[in-house]
C-alpha cells in the first residue's frame, strides 16, 4: 500500500493548451480565449480533468506570452478578463480544472516594474531586477560569463544608467530579483489574485532558476549554457518555494507543477516530497533530452536511453513525491516521428503505442494539444519560416558566419525547433485547417487535410478515440494510478515492457517501438491464473499475455491476477 496522500491531481489527466495556436475565435489569425471557449465540449469529450493553459496575460509577445507586462490582466489579442471568466466558468461547469502558467523568474521589459527599474539607480523598483556594473575599463563588458538559454550573453547594457541587467532568456525578459522580499510579496499577491478568481493551480515556469548564487560568480566552461550551476536550484530556492506554499498555496485546494530544467532525483525529491510543502510535482527534462548531446544537439534516439531515465524517476519518487508524465509540450518537437522513427503508413499505430507507453506509468499524464490526433513535425525549408525568438538568438550567435552554416542550422532546427509544436491545431480539412478564417500567425502543417479533429471524430479507429479509451481506463484504475513499477528487458531498444502492482493485481504493458515485427518472450517470472486484455492498438486479438511476434508498433495492456 502506498503511503502517498490522495489528491485530485494524482487522479487527473491534464490537457495543455498553447492559446496562440489552439483556435482563433475572432478571425485575426491568432488563437484566443473565445476560440478556447468554442472548443470546451471537445476538450471535455477527451475525458481530461484539467487544462494547463500557457500564458494568457498581457504581453508584448517577444516569447509568445512568456514575457508578461501585466500579471493581472489578459493579453489584448486573446480577449478580456471577462472572456477569461467565461472560460473558467465553462471549464468548471464541465468538471475541468484550470492550471495557469506562472512566469515569475522574469517579466517583460515592458512591465511597469522594469520601466521604473531601468529609469534610475535610486528608483524604488531598481532592486526588483538584477543590475550590475560591467567589467573592463568602461564597464562595457558583461558582469559575468553566463549565457542566455536562447544563446549569447545573459546580460544587456542599458544606456540610461550605464549598468547591465540579467536576462536568462531574451533581452525582453529581464530576471526578477527574488532576493528582494518585495518581489516575493508581489508574487504571493498575484498568485492569490488568480486563486481567488478560481484557478486550480499553476505550472511554474523555469522555477528552478529563481535563486541565483550570491555575487553571481562566473559559470564553468560549457559548450551549452554557461552559468547553469550558479542559478539552477540556487541557495534560497527551497526557502522561497516553501514560503509561497505556506503563505498562499496551502490555503487552497490547488496543485503546482514546477518546470524543473536540470533536475536530478535528489533535487526532485526536495521539491516534491510531501512533508516539505514546496511543489506538488515537477516536469523533468532528462527523458526529452535523451536524444540530445549536451541537452542541445540532436542525436539518434535509443529506446533504452528513454527507458532508463523513466525508470529512474519511477523508482526515485515512489512513495515520496509525484511524477509528471509527458512526451510533448510547446517547447518540444512532436513525439511523431521523434520517438518512433519513420512510421510510413503506420502513424496511427505508432501514436497509439506512444500513448500507452507513457500513460501507464505512475504520475500525472499531460496531453499536448494535437497529440491526441497524432499531429506531427514538419520539414522547414528556409530559416525565415521559423517564428520562435530562440531562432533569432541562434542566428545572432553565428553572426556573420550564419549564411555559411544556414543549411546545418535548418537541419538541426528541423529536429529540435519549438516551432513544430506551435503550428496551429488542425481542426478540419478546410482552409487554414479550421483554426482561423484568415492566414494564421504561424504556418500550418501541410498534412492538415489528412490529420485533423473532424477526420478523427469520424473514424472509430482514430488516435483520438484511442486516447479517450486510455484516459478513461486510467481514470478508473487505481492500479494504473498507484501501482508499483517494475521493468522488464531494460536494455531492449525495441520493446518497452513494464508491470505495475497494486493490491494483488498486476498490469502488464508491452510496446513495440519499431516499425517492424519483433519477437517477444513473456518474462520468466510472469505467472498468472487470470488475464484480461484491456488496451490494444490492433483490434484486441491477443487475449493472452504470452510469448509472441509483436507486429510493427504493437502495444497491449493486460491485467493479470
Ligand atoms: O521554458 C524554459 C526552458 O528552458 C526550456 O523549455 C527551453 O525553452 C527549451 O529547453 C528549449 O530547448 C520555459 C517555457 O516553457 C518557454 O516556452 C519559455 O520560452 C521559457 O520558459 C521562458 O519563459
Ligand atoms: Ca483571434
Backbone angles phi, psi at 258, to 5 degrees: -95, 130
Average pLDDT along the chain: 96
Q: What is the mean pLDDT of residues 20-46?
A: 98
CA of 150 to the centre of ligand 1 (A): 9
Backbone angles phi, psi at 560, to 5 degrees: -115, 140
Residue 259 annotated among the catalytic residues of the structure: yes
1 confidence band (pLDDT: 50, 70, 90): very low
Nearest to 280 by CA among 382, 364, 196: 364
Which ligand 1 atom is at minimum distance from the Cα of 389?
19
In the numeric block, the cell 538584477 is attached to 130
**% of the chain with per-residue pLDDT over 90:** 95
332 confidence band (pLDDT: 50, 70, 90): very high
DSSP conformation letters of 3-53: -PPP-GGGG--EEEE-GGGT--SSSSSS--HHHHHHTHHHHHHHT-SEEEE
231 Cβ closer than 6 Å to some ligand 1 atom: no
Indicate the top mutation candidate among 104, 176, 205 to test ligand 1's pocket, ranked by most ligand atoms within 8 A of CB.
205
Which amino acid residue places its CA nearest to atom 17 of ligand 1? 331
CA of 370 to the centre of ligand 2 (A): 19
Residue 294 pLDDT: 82
Q: Say if CB 92 and CB 99 are below 8 A apart.
A: no
DSSP conformation letters of 231-278: HTT-TTHHHHHHHHHHHTGGGSS-EEEEE-TT--HHHHHHHH-TTT-S
Judged against a pLDDT cut of 70, whether residue 358 lies above it is answered with: yes
Which amino acid residue places its CA nearest to atom 7 of ligand 1? 331
331 Cβ closer than 6 Å to some ligand 1 atom: yes
Which amino acid residue places its CA nearest to atom 12 of ligand 1? 331
63 Cβ closer than 6 Å to some ligand 1 atom: yes
Which ligand 1 atom is at minimum distance from the Cα of 105?
23
Nearest ligand (C-alpha, residue 417): 1
CA 377/CA 125 separation, integer angstroms? 43
CA of 385 to the centre of ligand 2 (A): 21
Residue 262 pLDDT: 87
5 confidence band (pLDDT: 50, 70, 90): low
Query: Model confidence over 297-320: pLDDT tens digits?
Result: 899 999 999 999 999 999 999 999
Which domains, ranges and CATH numbers included, belong to the chain? Answer: 9-107+182-378+420-469 (3.20.20.80), 112-166 (3.90.400.10), 381-416 (no CATH), 483-560 (2.60.40.1180)
Query: Model confidence over 225-254: pLDDT tens digits?
Result: 899 999 999 999 999 999 999 999 999 999
CA 456/CA 469 separation, integer angstroms? 14
Which ligand 1 atom is at minimum distance from the Cα of 103?
23
Which ligand 1 atom is at minimum distance from the Cα of 67?
23
pTM above 0.95, yes or no: yes
CA of 59 to the centre of ligand 2 (A): 15
Q: What is the mean pLDDT of residues 81-94?
A: 98
67 Cβ closer than 6 Å to some ligand 1 atom: no
Q: What is the mean pLDDT of residues 140-163?
A: 96
263 Cβ closer than 6 Å to some ligand 1 atom: no
CA 171/CA 32 separation, integer angstroms? 26
List beta partners, residue 106.
175
149 Cβ closer than 6 Å to some ligand 1 atom: yes
Residue 185 annotated among the catalytic residues of the structure: no
4 confidence band (pLDDT: 50, 70, 90): low
Indicate the top mutation candidate among 17, 206, 386 to test ligand 1's pocket, ranked by most ligand atoms within 8 A of CB.
206
CA distance readout (Å), 129 to 105, 117, 214, 241, 259: 10, 7, 14, 19, 21
Could you tell me which residues come within 8 angstroms of residue 149 by beta carbon, excluding any fewer than 6 positions away?
168, 169, 225
Indicate the top mutation candidate among 167, 331, 421 to test ligand 1's pocket, ranked by most ligand atoms within 8 A of CB.
331
Q: What is the mean pLDDT of residues 511-537?
A: 96
CA 360/CA 63 separation, integer angstroms? 33
Q: Say if CB 372 and CB 467 are below 8 A apart.
A: yes
Which ligand 1 atom is at minimum distance from the Cα of 169?
22
Amino acid at each position: 500500500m502506498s503511503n502517498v496522500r490522495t489528491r485530485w491531481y494524482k487522479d487527473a489527466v491534464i490537457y495543455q493548451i498553447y492559446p496562440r495556436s489552439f483556435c482563433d475565435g475572432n478571425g485575426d489569425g491568432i488563437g484566443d480565449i473565445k476560440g478556447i471557449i468554442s472548443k470546451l465540449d471537445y476538450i471535455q469529450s477527451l475525458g481530461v480533468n484539467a487544462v494547463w493553459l500557457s500564458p494568457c496575460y498581457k504581453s508584448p509577445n517577444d516569447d509568445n506570452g512568456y514575457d508578461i507586462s501585466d500579471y493581472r490582466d489578459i493579453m489584448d489579442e486573446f480577449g478580456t478578463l471577462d472572456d477569461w471568466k467565461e472560460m473558467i466558468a465553462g471549464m468548471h461547469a464541465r468538471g475541468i480544472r484550470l492550471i495557469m502558467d506562472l512566469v515569475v523568474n522574469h517579466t517583460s521589459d515592458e512591465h511597469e516594474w522594469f520601466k521604473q527599474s531601468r529609469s534610475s539607480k535610486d528608483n524604488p523598483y531598481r532592486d526588483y531586477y538584477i543590475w550590475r556594473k560591467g567589467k573592463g575599463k568602461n564597464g562595457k563588458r558583461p558582469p559575468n560569463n553566463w549565457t542566455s538559454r536562447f544563446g549569447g550573453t545573459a546580460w544587456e547594457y542599458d544606456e540610461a544608467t550605464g549598468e547591465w541587467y540579467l536576462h536568462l532568456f531574451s533581452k525582453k525578459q529581464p530576471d526578477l530579483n527574488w532576493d528582494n522580499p518585495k518581489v516575493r510579496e508581489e508574487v504571493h499577491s498575484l498568485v492569490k489574485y488568480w486563486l481567488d478568481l478560481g484557478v486550480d493551480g499553476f505550472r511554474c515556469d523555469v522555477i528552478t532558476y529563481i535563486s541565483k548564487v550570491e555575487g553571481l560568480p562566473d559559470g564553468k566552461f560549457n559548450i551549452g549554457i554557461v552559468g547553469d550551476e550558479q542559478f539552477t536550484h540556487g541557495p534560497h530556492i527551497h526557502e522561497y518555494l516553501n514560503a509561497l506554499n505556506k503563505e498562499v498555496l496551502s490555503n487552497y485546494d490547488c496543485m503546482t507543477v514546477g518546470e524543473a530544467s536540470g533536475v536530478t532525483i535528489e533535487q526532485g525529491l526536495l521539491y516534491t516530497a510531501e512533508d516539505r510543502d514546496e511543489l506538488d510535482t515537477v516536469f523533468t527534462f532528462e527523458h526529452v533530452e535523451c536524444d540530445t548531446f549536451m541537452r542541445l544537439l540532436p542525436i539518434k534516439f535509443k529506446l533504452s536511453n528513454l527507458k532508463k531515465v523513466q525508470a529512474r524517476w519511477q523508482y526515485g519518487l515512489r512513495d515520496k513525491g509525484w511524477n509528471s508524465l509527458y512526451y510533448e509540450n510547446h517547447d518540444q518537437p512532436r513525439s511523431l516521428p521523434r520517438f518512433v522513427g519513420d512510421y510510413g503508413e503506420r502513424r496511427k499505430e505508432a501514436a497509439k503505442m506512444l500513448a500507452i507507453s507513457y500513460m501507464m506509468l505512475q504520475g500525472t499524464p499531460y496531453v499536448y494539444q494535437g497529440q491526441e490526433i497524432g499531429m506531427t513535425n514538419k520539414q522547414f525549408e528556409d530559416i525565415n519560416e521559423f517564428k520562435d525568438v530562440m531562432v533569432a538568438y541562434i542566428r545572432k550567435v553565428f553572426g556573420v558566419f550564419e549564411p555559411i552554416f544556414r543549411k546545418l542550422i535548418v537541419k538541426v532546427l528541423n529536429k529540435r525547433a519549438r516551432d513544430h509544436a506551435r503550428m496551429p491545431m488542425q481542426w478540419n480539412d478546410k482552409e487554414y485547417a479550421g483554426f482561423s478564417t484568415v492566414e494564421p500567425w504561424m504556418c500550418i502543417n501541410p498534412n492538415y487535410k489528412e490529420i485533423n479533429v473532424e477526420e478523427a471524430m469520424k473514424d472509430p479507429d482514430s488516435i483520438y478515440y484511442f486516447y479517450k479509451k486510455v484516459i478513461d481506463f486510467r481514470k478508473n484504475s487505481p492500479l494504473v494510478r498507484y501501482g508499483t513499477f517494475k521493468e522488464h528487458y531494460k536494455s531492449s531498444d525495441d520493446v518497452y515492457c513494464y508491470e505495475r502492482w497494486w493490491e494483488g493485481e498486476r498490469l502488464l504493458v508491452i510496446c513495440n517501438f519499431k516499425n517492424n515485427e519483433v519477437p517477444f518472450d513473456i518474462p520468466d517470472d510472469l505467472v498468472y491464473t487470470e488475464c484480461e486484455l484491456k488496451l490494444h492498438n490492433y483490434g484486441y486479438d491477443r487475449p493472452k499475455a504470452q510469448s509472441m511476434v509483436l507486429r510493427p508498433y504493437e502495444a497491449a495492456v493486460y491485467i493479470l491476477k
